Amino acid sequence: QSALTQPASVSGSPGQSITISCTGTSSDIGTYNYVSWYQQHPGKAPKLMIYEVSNRPSGVSNRFSGSKSDNTASLTITGLQAEDEADYYCKSYTSSSTWVFGGGTKLTVL
């Protein structure tokens, strides 16, 4: 159950777009479409932003989108806003009938 691989940090200026990658293996992301993304502000509980690779829950801005190619999932945020500054985590179902998170990515809005 190794953690999925995410960049430790990404940054962008207001209005720009950024993409956070999440790399797994053929035993998780590569086989299953049960990939989700979470946003966590300091001291707060995580918030679901994307589920099943590319679906947005009700209430989540359409500036957030998800995709997947082979063993890598991606979260793209367009039109960056100051409030997007947070930690982001990916999560995937695995062939062991378990789930695994990524190590997390700190997004800084410059």
Partner 1 sequence: EVQLVESGGGLVQPGGSLRLSCAASGFTFSTYEMNWVRQAPGKGLEWVSYISSSGSTIYYADSVKGRFTISRDNAKNSLYLQMNSLRAEDTAVYYCARDQRGFGEIDYWGQGTLVTVSS
Minimum distance of partner 1 from residue 55's CB (angstroms): 9
**Of 14 and 103, which has the nearer Cβ to partner 1?**
103
| Residues binding partner 1 (CB under 8 A) | 1, 3, 34, 36, 38, 40, 45-48, 51-52, 57, 87, 89, 91-93, 97-104
**Of 45 and 82, which has the nearer Cβ to partner 1?**
45
**Of 13 and 97, which has the nearer Cβ to partner 1?**
97
Minimum distance of partner 1 from residue 65's CB (angstroms): 16
CB 102 within 8 A of CB 91: yes
Paired strand residues for 50: 37
Q: What Å distances lie between residue 9 and 21, 34, 49, 54, 81, CA to CA?
A: 11, 24, 18, 22, 16
The residue among 62, 65, 46 whose CA lies nearest residue 54 is: 65
Minimum distance of partner 1 from residue 48's CB (angstroms): 5
Contacts of 46 (CB under 8 A, 6+ apart): 38, 39, 40, 89
**Of 8 and 82, which has the nearer Cβ to partner 1?**
8
